[in-house]
A and B are shown apart, each in its own frame.
Chain A
Amino acid sequence: MSEMPHIVTITIVLDETPTVKTFVFDELFNIRPGQFCMVWVPGVDEIPMAFSAANAITVMKVGDATEALFDLKAGDKIGIRGPFGNGFNPEGKVLAIAGGVGVTPLFTLAACGEVDTFILGARTREELIFTEDLAKVSDLKIATDDGTCGFHGFVTGIMDQLDIGSYDTICVCGPEIMMKGILDRLVAKGIEGRGQFSLQRYMKCAVGICGSCCMDNDGLRVCRDGPVFTGDIIKNGEFAHYHRGPSGRKE
């Protein structure tokens, strides 16, 4: 089966924060929350990106490809391959914890009505994304590092105020150092298997062949075996310690 990139036309570009934009396009993809796509900016590069809706991606400017993406306007074309990966698999009472642009895949989960409590963190008020929509579909709790909105501190500070054991599934996406803090708390309670962590690694093929995104110690492919892994699977490997760059070197 051919999986050439679908060429879509951007219909709306939304400024979410000074460094984050949402690109809405003219085609709907059949996604499960937590799945991702490869976004092709013709002539530049192709990069993995979580869907923020069936017809949208939400992107933070971090490198050459995202910078090129930020120059695009309504009417411009990009290529989409996917959806790829497993996505979240929530059961029972669900807590979602997101940091920064990591809110994207969890936003699609909340939009389906799957999230009971949502902890959203960012460095400062203006970097918070999707707050209005999240407040409509979940019990939203906000943390900012500088205290400009909500709890003054990290998402784990709010987590410590909740009865974590009362949640059946804890879905997480954000900086790895943040996810490590959450995993440590789940491990301490012996419930790391309830944690579902959405991971990011450097990817080339996105279909489980090239090996760029394989993680230690088990050689699991983030693109195909993941990107969502339960805490028991990642607690003893490279997670929160190192990852590999484009050449395969550890960074």
Chain B
Amino acid sequence: MIQIQLPKEEIAGVPLRNHMLLAAGVLGTTGASLKRMLSLGAGGVITKSIGPVAISGHHGPALVPIEGGLINAMGLPNPSKEFVSEIAPLKGEPVVVNIFGGTPKEFGEVASWFPDARAFELNLSCPHAEGYGAAIGIDPRIVKECTEIVKTYNKPVWVKLTPNVTDIRGIGKAAEEGGADAIVAINTVKAMRISTGARRPVLGNRFGGLSGKAIFPIAIRSVYDLYDAVGIPIIGCGGVSTADNVIEMMMAGASAVEIGSAVYDSINIFSEIAAELYAENGIPAEEIVGCAHV
């Protein structure tokens, strides 16, 4: 297998310790859990999605493991502005604050709370929150406006996209036009399972988002398409669970990856992958980013 070197420079404006970040929504509700994941080998961490008001989330079941992944409808639970004090002890660490809002103005308001964030990731892609996430992230004009307003806070802005659109490239271009420093692809794929015993959808919200190995090919295709469409870095997200998956994402066009569902199998997933992925005499990652575009 190909082995690579650790990053020598910032990636999309963030000084990452390696090419793998903890994805938003996974163990990102408290400062202590984010710190734990950094100490367990994450190259950077994305916080839980933080919005303009505190939300308790959908009724359960909110997450169910299924073959090849996880299906969830958490419903954007978040403590809103109180989260500022959660991550205050992490100042200086590679912490990307994921934010959401129902309008560009709300995105700007939430961004204004976090002067110490290394970067922002805009949640324009959660598939199961009415009026938020993908509900507005399928409109290129709104995506551009949200990016522009958060960009006024002079930090790197990453825009996380939904795969639940006809053509992800148009949304990616809108983010780039709005001044995005990176595109993150993809959020979960809209999905449902039904409990045959209960004769009803298993999630409290009825439908939700699928993550994990099952969506890896969808994520690869999305990153591959975006690499042709935009000139800014792409962060690959969706089902990454092995060192070879990281390499494959890079070959599709990703400069770094996010890992979430694989934490279900092992909380040490970052150090386990790093042990295989990196070597002193490895090649620079830049050599393989996008190399599959033949």
Contact = CB atoms under 8 A, between A and B. Distances in A.
B165 to A, nearest CB: 26
Given A1-B65, A46-B59, A212-B77, A219 B32 contact: yes
Interface string A217-230: 11111000000000
A2 B264 CA distance: 13
Interface stretch (B67-75, B93-101, B154-162, B282-290): B67-75
Interface size class on chain A is: 35 or more
Contacts of B33: 211, 214, 219, 221
B184 interface: no
A38 interface: yes
Contact of B28 (A2, A4, A7, A211): A211
Given A45-B59, A219-B36, A4 B193 contact: yes
A214 B36 CA distance: 10
B52 to A, nearest CB: 13
B79 A207 contact: no
A79 B263 CA distance: 25
Contacts of A81: 61, 64
Interface stretch (B106-114, B197-205, B250-258): B197-205
Given A5-B195, A43-B200, A214-B32, A208 B263 contact: yes
Interface string B264-291: 1001000000000000000000000000
Nearest to B201: A42
A210 B29 contact: yes
A189 interface: no
Interface string B75-118: 00111101100100000000000000000000000000000000
Interface in B15-31: 25-30
A248 B50 CA distance: 11
B60 A248 contact: no
B198 A42 contact: yes
A1 B81 CA distance: 37
B63 A204 contact: yes
A250 interface: yes
Interface stretch (A147-155, A177-185, A239-247): A239-247
Nearest to B34: A219
B198 A77 contact: yes
B27 A209 contact: yes
A3 B64 contact: yes
B57 to A, nearest CB: 6
A158 interface: no
Contacts of B26: 209-211
B24 to A, nearest CB: 11
* Among all A-B residue pairs, the 7 with the closest Cβ atoms: A7-B197, A46-B60, A219-B36, A219-B33, A246-B56, A219-B32, A205-B63
Interface of A: 1-7, 38, 40, 42-47, 77, 79, 81, 204-212, 214-221, 244-250
29 contacts: A2-B65, A2-B66, A4-B202, A5-B198, A6-B197, A7-B195, A42-B200, A44-B59, A46-B61, A77-B197, A81-B64, A204-B60, A205-B72, A207-B65, A207-B264, A208-B267, A209-B260, A209-B264, A210-B63, A211-B30, A214-B33, A216-B30, A216-B32, A219-B32, A219-B35, A244-B79, A247-B56, A247-B57, A248-B29
Given A77-B198, A79-B61, 6 more contacts: A2-B65, A4-B193, A44-B59, A81-B64, A217-B32, A244-B30
